[in-house]
A = this chain, B = another copy of it.
Amino acid sequence: MRDELYESASQLFFLMGHPVRLRILDLLRRGEACVCHLQAALGLPQPYVSQQLRLLREAGLISSRREGLFIYYRLANQQVEELLGKVLGPVEETQPVPGCACPKCQRSFSADFLKEAVR
C-alpha cells in the first residue's frame, strides 16, 4: 500500500527529473500550448518533443485537446504545478515565440506589431 505511494511518487519525480520535460512542464504552466509552440520555444525536433509529451501524457501529468490541425497541451495535475512553483518559482510571463505557426502565436505577434506601431 505504501509501496505504491513510493512507486507513483518516484515516477512523478522521475518524469520531472529531465531538463527537457521540466522545461515543457514549465512552459505549460503559462497556459496551453501546441506542439509547434513547444518545438519552437525549445529549439528541438518535433518528433523528440512529441515523444516527451507522450510520456507526460501517459502518466497523466498533462492532457491534450485537438482543435483542427493543432493539438493543445496543458497541465493536468495540481501537484505538478505546486512542485514546479516550489522549485522554479512563480510562473514567468509568456513570450511570443517566433517560428510557431499556430493561431495563438499569430495572435500574439499581431498584438506585438500593434504595440510597435503605437510607438
Q: Which residues of A contact B (CB under 8 A)?
A: 5-7, 9-19, 21-23, 26, 79, 82-83, 86-88
> Which B residues lie within 8 Å of A17 (CB)?
10-17
> Which B residues lie within 8 Å of A14 (CB)?
13-14, 17-18
> Which B residues lie within 8 Å of A19 (CB)?
6-7, 10
Q: Contact: A12 with B87, CB < 8 Å?
A: yes
A6: min CB distance to chain B, Å: 5
10 additional A-B pairs beyond A6-B26, A10-B17, A12-B87, beta carbons within 8 Å, are A6-B22, A10-B18, A10-B21, A12-B17, A13-B13, A13-B16, A13-B87, A14-B17, A14-B18, A86-B86
> Which B residues lie within 8 Å of A7 (CB)?
19
Bound complex: CA A22 to CA B7 (Å): 9
